[in-house]
């Protein structure tokens, strides 16, 4: 089982001062956040990507993934290509981070890349519902 699945953190979001609803405190993982359920973990990805858009002005999959999975830690270009291939969304197309039809496939693709297995679509959708967008 991947670390992201074990932690109910399908996006492998690193520990930080940011607190998300559904996050476990204290985390027993020294590097990554842990969530109560996969749905809360998916919600955190949706919230994080929406923050990238609203706070930092990142509008596209390319811009968001460069920040989410930086080249210092990842093969970012391959990550971007994989998300775009899985979703059919062009890398520089502006996206609406509050649009369910756009974001559920993007977050499912991120989960697949991070964990090496397909996301449960129902859990991703429930995670989106928890955002309140």
What would the pLDDT profile of 1-43 be if each residue is shown by its tens digit? 899 999 999 999 999 999 999 999 988 999 999 999 999 999 9
CA distance 23 to 28: 12
Domain extents in the chain: 3-131
What would the pLDDT profile of 92-107 be if each residue is shown by its tens digit? 999 999 999 999 999 9
Per-residue tokens: 3: 């670390």
- Kindly report the number of other CB atoms within 10 A of residue 76's CB atom: 17
């Amino acid at each position: 089982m991947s670390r992201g699945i074990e932690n109910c953190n399908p996006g492998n979001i690193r520990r930080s001062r940011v607190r998300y609803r559904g996050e476990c405190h204290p985390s027993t993982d020294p590097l990554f956040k842990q969530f109560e359920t996969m749905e809360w973990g998916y919600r955190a990805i949706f919230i994080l990507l929406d923050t990238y858009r609203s706070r930092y002005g990142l509008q596209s999959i390319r811009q968001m993934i460069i920040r989410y999975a930086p080249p210092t830690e990842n093969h970012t270009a391959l990550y971007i290509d994989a998300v775009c291939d899985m979703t059919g969304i062009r890398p520089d197309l502006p996206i609406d981070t509050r649009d369910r039809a756009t974001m559920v496939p993007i977050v499912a693709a991120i989960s697949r890349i991070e964990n090496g297995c397909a996301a449960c679509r129902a859990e991703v959708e429930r995670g989106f519902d928890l955002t309140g967008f």
